[in-house]
Amino acid sequence: MRIRRNICPSSTLEAGRLNFFGVNFLLVTEKAYKELENALGADYVSDQDFVRQAYSRNVDPALPDRWPDIVVRPGTTEEVSHIVRVANKYKIPMVPRGGGADLVGGSKPIVEGGILIDLTRMNKVVEFNEDVGNVVVECGITWGELIEFLHKKGYTTGIEGPGSGMSATIGGGLSNNTIGFGSTKYGPVSDNCIGVEVVLPNPDGDIINTGSGASRYVKKPFSRWGMCPDFTGLFLGDVGTMGIKTRAVMKIYPLPEYREGYTFVVPDDYEFMVKVSHALQRRCSWGISDITITPSSVVMIYSLTEVIKPWRDLMLSKPVMMVGIEADNEKMLEIARDTVHEEFAKPDVVELGPSLKEGNIAEWVGKKQGQWQYFHGVFGVMPGHFSCTTCHKVPLDQMPQVFKESEMYTMQKAQEYSSAMVAAATAAVVYVMPRGECVIVGGMSAWNKPEMRETNLKFWKDRLHFQVEYGGVHYWLGEVISQAIMEANAFPPQFTKFFRDTKRTVDPNFLLSPGKFHFYSPEEGKND
Q: How many helices (H) and strands (E) does the chain have?
A: 16, 22
Q: For Cα atoms 358, 360, 366, give the angle at the middle one, nearest 5 degrees.
A: 145
Q: Give the number of other CB atoms < 10 A from CB of residue 45.
A: 23
**Rounded CA separation 245/506 (Å):** 13
Q: What is the model's pTM?
A: 0.92
Q: Which residues lie across from 118 on neighbouring strands? A: 97
Provide the strand spans (E) within 162-210. Answer: 193-199, 207-209
Residue pLDDT tens, the chain, 528 long: 444 434 444 333 343 344 444 446 677 889 999 999 999 999 999 999 999 999 998 777 778 889 999 999 999 999 999 999 999 999 999 999 998 888 888 889 998 899 999 999 999 999 999 999 999 999 999 999 999 999 999 999 998 888 777 789 999 999 999 998 899 999 999 999 999 999 999 999 999 999 999 999 999 999 999 889 999 999 999 999 999 999 999 999 999 999 999 999 999 999 999 999 999 999 999 999 999 999 998 888 888 877 777 888 888 999 999 999 999 999 999 999 999 999 999 999 999 989 888 999 888 776 655 666 666 655 555 667 777 889 999 999 999 999 999 989 988 888 887 777 766 777 888 999 999 999 999 888 888 888 888 888 899 999 999 999 999 999 989 999 999 999 999 999 999 999 999 999 999 999 999 999 999 998 876 666
pLDDT at res. 15: 37
The Cα–Cα gap between 169 and 242 comes to 18
Residue 170: strand, helix, or coil: helix
Q: With beta carbons less than 8 A apart as the criterion, state whether 403 and 295 touch.
A: yes
Torsions phi, psi for 70 (to 5 deg): -140, 140
Decide: 228 and 211 in contact? Cβ < 8 Å: no
In three-state form (DSSP H/G/I as H, E/B as E, the rest C), the secondary structure along 374-433 is CCHHHHHCCCCEEEEECCEEEEHHHHHHHHHHHHHHHHHHHHHHCCCEEEEEEEEEEEEC
Give the CA distances from residue 157 to residues 105, 161, 193, 229, in Å, rounded to whole numbers and listed in that order: 27, 9, 10, 25
As a whole number of angstroms, the distance between CA 363 and CA 322 comes to 9
Decide: helix, strand or coil at residue 125: strand
Classify 258 as helix, strand or coil: strand
User: How much is the pLDDT for 416?
Assistant: 83
Give the integer Cα–Cα distance in Å for 97 and 107. Answer: 5
Q: What is the C-alpha to C-alpha distance for residues 165 and 99, in angstroms, rounded to an integer?
A: 9
